[in-house]
Structure 1
């Protein structure tokens, strides 16, 4: 496998107590990259020093749509300064989940994506389950399909979350194959028979098949995430990494 990163949301209980120590621990577990969900209040020089010390790559960072719209230059400058190539929109509040809002969102992503590209960055969008619902009663197009169709491949990419796709009844393997080239990052997140979160490889999702489909679809990097670990979060991250390392190259 190319790059396996940890989405730091997985260990948010640990980063809240000790951000620097947690990233050191993540590196010790064997991760070579991370996806940020906040920077723990660290300045650019402090983060640069921490990444250099741990050897962790800043693969991508989750930044709210509001922050990108209101503070784009600051967000871009921080990402560029720590060597992070991708800004990812992670989530939309319920108030923005209407057909009119999704229609406007496509244009917003194109505009922000163009700005990101001009700065040498890429803009991505991360899904949950609600993007696999139809645009409206009259328009059966799935929201995520619409966003993929209406955004510029040169400046907007997508980060597929395997758990939320499966939760919505969508086959992640088929979706990756159908949208080859548009999905550049994959959140590997597993599901129990009860449809709760679990460590990668401990659930019912076909992780090996998902990884294989992602590779043939142009995905180079994978991210481990567990929204609600039932065991200590760093142990959860470790178990997922151990499973992924056993998959054939």
Structure 2
């Protein structure tokens, strides 16, 4: 005899059949949304109680995570100080699937941290020193080791969230060449490799070949042609090797419309970072309905990750990071335009 749950499931399947999830595998009609989170969102809590904080994410309802904190030391990879074996077991025991990871080559970093737009000084860039003929071999070696480590960790996707400093068109082309090489290495290992933006990528480059105007990207209105660096990345990387994880909030802060990018470069954005000035949906600043609708229709959206870089101190000073992501989860889970 079938129990009540089995009867209900059969009835749903008979009425509507199996439906395809946003990620390409079949799910039954009663299955809930699969919502991911970038673990950087609760970095303070993770430092205080790693296992307890990850369990809290599972209890909130998150099904999968995008990791941060990967490091290479003495030819051994680790995540936030845990060995790859130990961290993988922690996630397996809790029931959180690690579907992606943020990491970058160990090059000198240049940070610009805005306030997220509250005062109008919201630019954010996380840049690393320029790629050169001298350091490219070490960069490629880093990615080879990282690929092996992420295979051991059981993570199928790697994402670079830091922009190499670009002074010239030659610099920009070199970046794209390295991205393509890295994507090819990942593909050979049955992994995927992509790039995550902040806001500096939406500045224009208009430098002549070989010019060096500043230590960072220069804006030179008399230099032509002028092109947004993010577009340069999209047009000079191989879609079969390099995908883009758009941080939709920082695209908006870079004065660009995510929807226009989905329409102009269809299929290039299988991953999204869903972010707001504060707790998701609490500010009215982001048009998430349009972003998700266009992302599914044009962008190639497969997975999305909730991310909070901070609760805005002006409105959420008493809210913990876990409480902020809990409220953000509720917003996404209840949004009718999110699959």
When normalised by structure 2's length, the TM-score is: 0.68
Matches within 5 A, 1:1-249: 2=22, 3-38=34-69, 39-66=79-106, 69-92=140-163, 96-99=165-168, 100-136=170-206, 137=220, 138-190=224-276, 197-203=277-283, 204-217=285-298, 218-230=300-312, 231-248=319-336, 249=339
Cα shift at 1:212 = 1.2
Three-state SS of the structure 2 residue aligned to 1:64 is coil
Cα shift at 1:48 = 2.0
**In structure 1, how many angstroms separate the alpha carbons of the residues matched to 2:62 and 2:250?**
23
Give the conservation status (yes or no) of the 8 Å contact 1:10–1:229.
no
| Alignment-derived partner of residue 193 in structure 1 | none
Cα shift at 1:202 = 1.2
Three-state SS of the structure 1 residue aligned to 2:190 is coil
Structure 2 unaligned blocks of 5 or more: 1-20, 23-33, 70-78, 108-138, 207-219, 313-318
- Bigger RCO of structures 1 and 2 (CA < 8 A, at least 6 apart): 1
Deviations 1:12-44 (A, max 9, x none): 111122222221111111100111111221112
Distance 1:81 1:208, change over 3 A: same
Distance 1:118 1:206, change over 3 A: same
Provide runs of 4+ in structure 1 moved above 3 Å. 65-70
Give the conservation status (yes or no) of the 8 Å contact 1:27–1:56.
yes
Question: Radius of gyration: which is bigger?
Answer: 2
What RMSD, in angstroms, separates the aligned Cα atoms of the two structures? 1.7
Deviations 1:84-131 (A, max 9, x none): 1111011136xx132343221100000111001001111100011111
